[in-house]
Every structure is written in structure tokens, then in C-alpha cells.
């Protein structure tokens, strides 16, 4: 897997960077087909979910207010969360930036270990997998789509559906590289199940992100459909959770509401599995809270922190529909990726890309948190112009 | 966390379900079926033993567990405990028994009942299941049994 994943376009190992990669993506038909297929499947589900369970809209409105309250007083909620976790017997760490987070996790894991990872955008944000591999560890993504893009050495095309741009035939060929041989989606899935079972059983560490964190009980809330998160967080003796500080909500009730809203607005509701981890006994729970720009956002950009990462804005965005995750920044991509990239990597990471948005506002309409993404993008354009003028 | 307050709140919700049990069970069953889960409603007190015997004879990788609570719609069953979490996650077929009295009218109260039981037992993990394991990560094609159980059967005991 010897080529850089940075801004790589599916189908080749030649590194293409910046705006060039976006223009190349425009001629990449499978990306558009995959996004269209995913959108058709999921948009219908979202509409049905909201019709069948009208309380979800109420949850979303309530959650926006609660998350705003937390984001306006992050230090207080971080302190409270750390105290509760320590009472529960967890080892707790605070990382100011990506480098610090990588260093903390690397010190916990060491080298020569086997690590199973649940799909986690925050771990992508800090470049964790590459770092742990460089330290001499064997690291496996365990979500099926994420494993496929790991083996194909590319970045996820969507944060929840990472391999949406790949055809069944392509996936069959990709998985063969690690000895997984199946004739179709069903067989491949079954073979991956067996392949990863062995990894789960021998893993020294499991690593996940966090969908919501309750400061009341010090619990990590995670949702999924495959069961790989459940295995990653329970089977290895040691489990590390990386928690973006904006994931904190005051109590368990709002954590449940947050994961309900996230899964409903993504389009798979109810989630097959909910995992809530308060402590890991027997075993060890390590929690790394990550700031990485979240605490120092300006007033306009702060609204992005309300995001529950449902991925809805990606699929509905006319620009994302053309380019996929190539547009919007190194990790996050899409309309929400503009704000997130600026927060976590600085304005220079998207200084050209912000001008490609058509500002149609569909992202704002479909967002359960009603985040005014067009306003954020306009704000980022101003910042980008000011920076260029300097 | 005020456990007495939690107990009182749960009792109120239980009362609400008890007064309209048939309707709640009907909604629960329909909701599970919508998630492609298998469902059976029984009054047979021996049902758990029957399933345990079947599993033993079958020799397959199946497990029978008691759920600690469940929400009516969406139907999600909650369990507690790390060991049980691992064994259900590794099974090919998860058969879950839920007592009708532990069915709650909404997800929040079902979670709270499981939370209360987890605290009383000293369990640090709560987990919920609404269906068998699934994925659509390869060309959007739905496949059951990605990592967790390939089948999820719920037995409601009245």
C-alpha cells in the first residue's frame, strides 16, 4: 500500500493535489454514480423516518439548544466530563492538537501491537492509523467500507459510506489483495467477517471515536449497523476512545437523542446497534479529549460545532454530487467539511475550495441542527481573501 | 444520579404500558418485523429452556439472552454487561427474550431502565440491538451478518 493517500483519486497512485484533484474528480463517473445511488437509497429513508417518528424533529431542535449551551462553555463541560470519567476508573487525556493526540495514543499503544479500529472521522482528522502503523503496529479498519478504502489506500469518499464510489467488481479485486476472495457482495462480506474475527480476537487495543458523550455519567455513546464497533470496543482488553470536545452533551438523555437524530437524518433508523460504555472492567478504558481548534473558533464558525455528523449535507449538495469527498478539505469533505477543515486545519486548507460552493443553501435545509453552512462559507471566503491579501 | 427518582419514573412508564399492553405489544412486534427481525409472542414459561435445548442440540453458534428493557417503537432491546456484550456480538444467531413488563413506551425510558439495572449490577456497559447485523457498503447491496449476528430473534414473554 505504498502511495500517499493525500488527495488521491480512486484508480491511481499518482498523487494529485489541491484544485487539480477536484477537476480530475469531475470526470470520475463512478463517484457520481455511487453518490446518486446512496442518496436515492437514504433520502427516501430520511423522509420516512421523520414522518413515522415525528419526535425526531423535536429532539433535533432541543439538541441544537443544548449543544449550543455546551459549546459556549466548553471548559466547564470538559472539566466535568474528565472528573466523571476518572471517578469511573478511566484514564483520561486532553489533546490540544492533532500532534498531541497522536503522541498520546502512540504512547498508550506502543509498538508491535495489533489494533482494531472502528470507523472514526476524528481519527482520520489526526492521522492516527498511519501514525500507529509507522510506529510498527498492525492496524485494521473494521467497518467494511473503511477496510475497503484502507486496502485500496485512499481516503473515504463519504464519512459514513466510505466506499460508495467503488463497484462490486472493484471491491472484489481490492479485497483479493489481502487474501479475501468472494464472488459477490454477500460472499465478500462473509469472508471479511471471518478475516476480521481473527483480528478482533488477537487485538491488543480497540480504538473508536464517539458519537455522543454524556458528562452526567461519563459514558461514550456509539451507533452502528455492522457490529464491528461492538467487537472493537469490547473484545480487546484495552479500549481507547477519541472524543472531539464538541461531542459532549450534559446527560445521557441528550446523548441518546443525539444518536437518534444522527442515525435518522443519515437514513438508517433505528441503528442496528447502540453501544454505551461507562467503564471497561475487566480491561482498561482510555479517553482522549481532542480540541484541535474547536475551542478557539470565532463566533460564526462556532455554529459548525453543533454538527452531529449525519452526512446528510454531503449527499444533498450539488457540488459534492459532482466531486465526492475530494472537495471540502483533507478529512471532512463536502459543505460541512468547509467549516470543519477551517476549524481543525486552518483556513489555508480550503482557501480555494470555499469559492467552489454554489451557496444554494440545500445543506442548511437538510441539516438537523439547522447550521447555516452558506453563512459559514461566505465568512470563510472573507477570511481566505484577507489571508491572500496579506 | 438520583436512583429513587429513576425508579419512580420507570414505574410510571410501566404503568402506562400495562394499561394498554395488547396495543403496545402489537406495535413492538410490527416495529421489529420492519427491521427484518424474527418475533414470537408467548405465554409459555418454558420457552427459554426450549430455546436453550434447541441450541445445544443444534450445536451452532447461537445464544439466548434476557433483554433488560426494550422500547416499543422504534423497537430496540437493551442489555447490560461486558461479557454478555461480547458473547452476543460473536454469535451467529441471537435469540433475545424480553418480559412484557420490561417494554417501555419510548427509547429514553427503555435506556433508563437498562441504566438502572446496570448500576444495580455494577455493569459498565449497556448495549442495544434492533436487528441482525447488516451492511450496504458494497455497491449499496444489503447483506445481513456483517460482523454481528446474522439472525436476530425476539421472544416476548407475557
In a mutational test of the A interface, the residue from B69, B141, B147, B148 whose CB has the highest number of chain A CBs within 10 Å is B147
> Matching CATH topology for A20-48+298-389 and A53-295?
no
A188: chain B residues, CB-CB within 8 Å: 138
What confidence score (pLDDT) does residue A2 get? 33
Does 3.40.50.10420 match the CATH number of domain A53-295?
A: yes
Nearest to B86 among A88, A235, A269 (CB): A235
Return the pLDDT at A388.
85
The pLDDT assigned to A326 comes to: 87
The mean pLDDT value for B41-60 works out to: 87
Which regions of chain A are under pLDDT 70?
1-18
The 3-state secondary structure of chain A, one letter per residue: CCCCCCCCCCCCCCCCCHHHHHHHHHCCHHHHHHHHHHHHHHHHHHHHHHHHCCHHHHHHHHHHHHHHHHHCCHHHHHHHHHHHHHHCCCEEEEECCHHHHHHHHHHHHCCCCEEEECCCHHHHHCCHHHHHHHCCCEEEECCHHHHHHHHCCCCCCCCCCCCCCCCHHHHHHHHHCCCCCCCCHHHHHHHHHHHHHHHHHHCCEEEECCCEEECCCCEEEEEECCCHHHHHHHCCCEEEEEEEHHHEECCHHHHHHHHHHHHHHHCCCCCCEEEEECCCCCCEEEEEEECCCHHHCCCCHHHHHHCCCCCHHHHHCHHHHHHHHHCCCCCCCHHHHHHHHHHHHCHHHHCCHHHHCCCCCHHHHHCCCCCCHHHHHHHHHHHHHHHHHC
CB contacts < 8 A, A to B, total: 153
Predicted pLDDT of residue A9: 36
**Structural domain count, chain B:** 1
Residue B59 has pLDDT above 80, yes or no: no
- At residue A389, the pLDDT reads 83
In the block, cell 450539488 appears at: A318
Spatial distance between the Cα atoms of A264 and A311, rounded to a whole number of angstroms = 11
Q: Do B85 and A234 touch (CB under 8 A)?
A: yes
Q: Give me the mean pLDDT over the B150-157 stretch.
A: 97
Nearest to A18 by CA among A312, A356, A314, A297: A356
> Where do the domains of chain A lie?
20-48+298-389, 53-295
Contact B82 A280 (CB under 8 A): yes
Tell if the CB–CB gap between A166 and B146 is shorter than 8 Å: no
- Looking at residue A57, what is its pLDDT? 97
Residues, chain A, total? 390
Range of the domain at B109: 3-157
What's the confidence (pLDDT) of residue A15? 43
Closest residue, chain B, to A31 (C-alpha)? B139
Taking each helix axis as running N to C, give the angle between helix A55-71 and helix A252-266, from 0 to 180 degrees, rounded to the nearest 10.
120
pLDDT recorded at residue A3: 35
- Which pTM does this prediction carry? 0.95
What is the structure's pLDDT at A24? Answer: 84
Predicted local distance difference test score (pLDDT) of residue B57 = 80
Instruction: Give residue A292's pLDDT.
Output: 98
**ipTM reported for the complex surpasses 0.90:** yes
CATH architecture of A20-48+298-389: Orthogonal Bundle (1.10)
pLDDT of residue A17: 53
Q: Any CB–CB contact under 8 A between A156 and chain B?
A: no
Which residue is listed with cell 464558525?
Answer: A301
Q: With contacts defined as CB-CB under 8 Å, which chain B residues touch A62? A: none
Residue A167 has its nearest CB partner, among B115, B124, B139, at B139
Q: What pLDDT is attached to residue A43?
A: 94
Average pLDDT over residues B46-73: 90
Q: Best mutation site among A273, A279, A284 for testing chain B: the one with the most B CBs within 10 Å?
A: A273
Which CATH number goes with the domain that contains B86? Answer: 3.40.50.10420
For residues A343 and A326, the answer to whether their CB atoms sit within 8 Å is no
Residues 203-262 of A with CB under 8 A from B: 216-217, 225-228, 230-231, 234-235, 252-253, 256-257, 260
B86/A234 CB distance under 8 A: yes
Q: Write down the pLDDT at residue B139.
A: 94
Percent of chain B with pLDDT over 70: 100
Q: Residue A238 has what pLDDT? A: 98
pLDDT band at B45 (very low <50, low <70, confident <90, very high): confident
- The residue written with cell numbers 458494497 in the block is B138
Amino acid at each position: 500500500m505504498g502511495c500517499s493517500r493525500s488527495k488521491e483519486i480512486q484508480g491511481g497512485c499518482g498523487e494529485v493535489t489541491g484544485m487539480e484533484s477536484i477537476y480530475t474528480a469531475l470526470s470520475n463517473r463512478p463517484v457520481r454514480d455511487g453518490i446518486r445511488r446512496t442518496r436515492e437509497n437514504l433520502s427516501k429513508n430520511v423522509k420516512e423516518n421523520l414522518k413515522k417518528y415525528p419526535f425526531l424533529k423535536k429532539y433535533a431542535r432541543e439538541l441544537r439548544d443544548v449543544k449550543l449551551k455546551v459549546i459556549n462553555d466548553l471548559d466547564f463541560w470538559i472539566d466535568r466530563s474528565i472528573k466523571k470519567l476518572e471517578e469511573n476508573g478511566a484514564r483520561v487525556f486532553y489533546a490540544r492538537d492533532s500532534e498531541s493526540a497522536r503522541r498520546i495514543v502512540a504512547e498508550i499503544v506502543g509498538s508491535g501491537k495489533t489494533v482494531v479500529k472502528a470507523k472514526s472521522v476524528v481519527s482520520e482528522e489526526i492521522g492516527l492509523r498511519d501514525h500507529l502503523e509507522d510506529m510498527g503496529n498492525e492496524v485494521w479498519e473494521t467497518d467494511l467500507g473503511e477496510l475497503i478504502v484502507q486496502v485500496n489506500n485512499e481516503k473515504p469518499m463519504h464519512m459514513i459510506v466510505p466506499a460508495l464510489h467503488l463497484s462490486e467488481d472493484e471491491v472484489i479485486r481490492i479485497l483479493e489483495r489481502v487474501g479475501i476472495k468472494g464472488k459477490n457482495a454477500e460472499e465478500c462480506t462473509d469472508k471479511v467477517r471471518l478475516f476480521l474475527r481473527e483480528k478482533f480476537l488477537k487485538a491488543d487495543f480497540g480504538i473508536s471515536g464517539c458519537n455522543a458523550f454524556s458528562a452526567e455519567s461519563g459514558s461514550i455513546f456509539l451507533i452502528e449497523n455492522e457490529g464491528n464497533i461492538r467487537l472493537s470496543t469490547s473484545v480487546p482488553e484495552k479500549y481507547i476512545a477519541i472524543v472531539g470536545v464538541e461531542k459532549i452533551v450534559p446527560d445521557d438523555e441528550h446523548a441518546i437523542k443525539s444518536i437518534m437524530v444522527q442515525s435518522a437524518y443519515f437514513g438508517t433508523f433505528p441503528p442496528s446497534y447502540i453501544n454505551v460504555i461507562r467503564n471497561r472492567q475487566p480491561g482498561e478504558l482510555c479517553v482522549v479529549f481532542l480540541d484541535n481548534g474547536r475551542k478557539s473558533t470565532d463566533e460564526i464558525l462556532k455554529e459548525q460545532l453543533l454538527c452531529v455528523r449525519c452526512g446528510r449535507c454531503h449527499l444533498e449538495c450539488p457540488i459534492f454530487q459532482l466531486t465526492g469527498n475530494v472537495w471540502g478539505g483533507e478529512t471532512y469533505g463536502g459543505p460541512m467539511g468547509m467549516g470543519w477543515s477551517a476549524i481543525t486545519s486552518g483556513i489555508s486548507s480550503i482557501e480555494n475550495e470555499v469559492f467552489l460552493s454554489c451557496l444554494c443553501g440545500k445543506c442548511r435545509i437538510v441539516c438537523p441542527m439547522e447550521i447555516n453552512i452558506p453563512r459559514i462559507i461566505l465568512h470563510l471566503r472573507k477570511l481566505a481573501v484577507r489571508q491572500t491579501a496579506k | 444520579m438520583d436512583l429513587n427518582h429513576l425508579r419512580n419514573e420507570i414505574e410510571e412508564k410501566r404503568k402506562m404500558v400495562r394499561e394498554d399492553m395488547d396495543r403496545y405489544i402489537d406495535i413492538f412486534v410490527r416495529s421489529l418485523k420492519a427491521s427484518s427481525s424474527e418475533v414470537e409472542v408467548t405465554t409459555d414459561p418454558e420457552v427459554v429452556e426450549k430455546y436453550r435445548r434447541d441450541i445445544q442440540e443444534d450445536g451452532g453458534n447461537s445464544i439466548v439472552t434476557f433483554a433488560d428493557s426494550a422500547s416499543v417503537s422504534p423497537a430496540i432491546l437493551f442489555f447490560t454487561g461486558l461479557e454478555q456484550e461480547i458473547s452476543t456480538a460473536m454469535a451467529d444467531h441471537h435469540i433475545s427474550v424480553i418480559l412484557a413488563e420490561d417494554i417501555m413506551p419510548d427509547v429514553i425510558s427503555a435506556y433508563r431502565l437498562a441504566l438502572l439495572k446496570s448500576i444495580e449490577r455494577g455493569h459498565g456497559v449497556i448495549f442495544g440491538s434492533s436487528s441482525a447485523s447488516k451492511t450496504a457498503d458494497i455497491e449499496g447491496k444489503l447483506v445481513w451478518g456483517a460482523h454481528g449476528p446474522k439472525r436476530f430473534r425476539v421472544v416476548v414473554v407475557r
